[in-house]
């Protein structure tokens, strides 16, 4: 993560709350993936009670930590870091995430090739290597909710109609245009956020990624 007078390409923003060991592993993977990227890492701690502040006080000197005096929620914590971020691109990343070495370079290269892309997510997997359906989603609504609650989405998991919320018709190993970028790994061009605004702080936790994704689409 070479930090010099060049303009920063990327700001990685992580919100922590009582997951210090997950965060430690996350930061190690992020730093490893930033070896060839001009970047900064900002961690916002929402008043963790697991000793996070003491644990990280002498670790990760290149990481900027913001220590909140209370749990202000996911959206507000991310927004606090966003106000300080200097990167051309902003990555909102969950603290329980591990990224591969070439992750950021591939993502930034994609933005260079796809000039009309304002935000992107990635193919996410769990600890057992299983694909996470949250990687690609459609907007929620009455019909998608009905299909899910009625069991039709589970009965027809690859249907464009019945499985539209988790975009079951889209192959998991291919790039696609989707409605929602998961907040676990949401990479957005800073200029886009200047147009759309940051996370809506009325959302304490969950749902803020859907709202922001909707505003990004409306912004074109």
Residues 168-198: b if buried by 16+ CB within 10 A, e if exposed: bbbeeeeeeebbbbbbbbbbbbbebbeebeb
Same domain, 164 and 56: no
In a domain, 111, yes or no: yes
Q: According to the model, what pLDDT value does residue 5 have?
A: 46
Looking at the fold, whether 196 and 166 belong to one and the same domain comes out as no
Residue 115 located in a structural domain? yes
Check whether residue 177 and residue 210 sit in a common domain. yes
Instruction: Indicate which CATH number applies to the domain containing 213.
Output: 3.90.550.10
131 domain-assigned:
no
* 86 DSSP assignment: -
Residue-number span of the structural domain to which 147 is assigned: 137-170
Check residue 220 and give its pLDDT: 66
Instruction: Based on the fold, state whether residues 154 and 180 are members of the same structural domain.
Output: no
Give domain status of residue 2, yes or no.
no
Asked whether residue 71 falls in the same domain as residue 166, the answer is no
Residues 66 and 107 in one domain: yes
Co-location of 60 and 160 in the same domain: no
Q: Are residues 184 and 166 both part of a single domain?
A: no
Q: Which residues, including other chains, have CB under 8 Å from residue 28's CB and lie 6 or more apart? A: none
Residue 3 lies in a domain: no
pLDDT at 6: 60
Q: Tally Cβ neighbours within 10 Å of residue 203.
A: 18
Name 19's Cβ contacts closer than 8 Å, sequence gap at least 6. Answer: 48, 50, 95, 96
Distance CA 128, CA 214 (A): 31
Q: What pLDDT shows up at residue 158?
A: 84
In the prediction, which pLDDT does 81 show?
Answer: 97
Verify that 82 and 165 share a domain, yes or no. no
Q: Is residue 84 part of a domain?
A: yes
Per-residue model confidence (pLDDT) at position 137: 82
pLDDT score of 60: 93
> Are both 89 and 49 inside the same structural domain?
yes
Give yes or no: residues 98 and 156 share one domain. Answer: no
Say if 28 falls within a structural domain: yes
Indicate whether 157 and 191 sit together in one domain.
no
- If one counts the domains in the chain, the total is 2
Q: How many CA atoms lie within 13 A of 53 on its CB side?
A: 10
What stretches in the chain show pLDDT beneath 50?
Answer: 4-5
DSSP letter for each residue of 56-76? HTTS-TTSEEEE-SS---HHH
120: β partners: 187
Does residue 4 sit within a domain? no
- pLDDT 10s digits, 93-118: 999 999 999 999 999 999 988 888 88
Q: Give the pLDDT confidence score for residue 3 in this predicted structure.
A: 52
């Amino acid at each position: 993560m070479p930090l010099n007078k060049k303009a920063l390409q990327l700001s990685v923003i992580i919100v922590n709350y009582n997951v210090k060991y997950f965060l430690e592993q996350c930061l190690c993977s992020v730093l490893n993936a930033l070896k060839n990227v001009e970047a900064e890492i900002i961690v916002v701690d929402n008043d963790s009670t697991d000793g996070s502040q003491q644990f990280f006080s002498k670790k990760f000197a290149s990481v900027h930590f913001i220590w909140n005096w209370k749990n202000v929620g996911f959206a507000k914590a991310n927004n606090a870091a966003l106000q300080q971020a200097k990167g051309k691109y902003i990555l909102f990343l969950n603290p329980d995430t591990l990224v591969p070495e070439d992750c950021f370079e591939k993502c930034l290269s994609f933005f260079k090739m796809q000039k009309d892309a304002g935000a992107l997510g990635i193919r996410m997997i769990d600890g057992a290597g299983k694909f996470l359906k949250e990687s690609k989603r459609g907007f929620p609504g009455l019909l998608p909710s009905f299909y899910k609650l009625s069991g039709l989405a589970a009965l027809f998991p690859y249907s464009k109609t019945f499985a539209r919320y988790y975009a079951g018709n889209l192959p998991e190993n291919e790039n696609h245009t989707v409605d929602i970028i998961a907040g676990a790994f949401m990479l957005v061009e800073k200029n886009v956020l200047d147009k759309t605004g940051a996370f809506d702080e009325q959302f304490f936790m969950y749902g803020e990624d859907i709202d922001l994704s909707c505003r990004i689409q409306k912004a074109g």
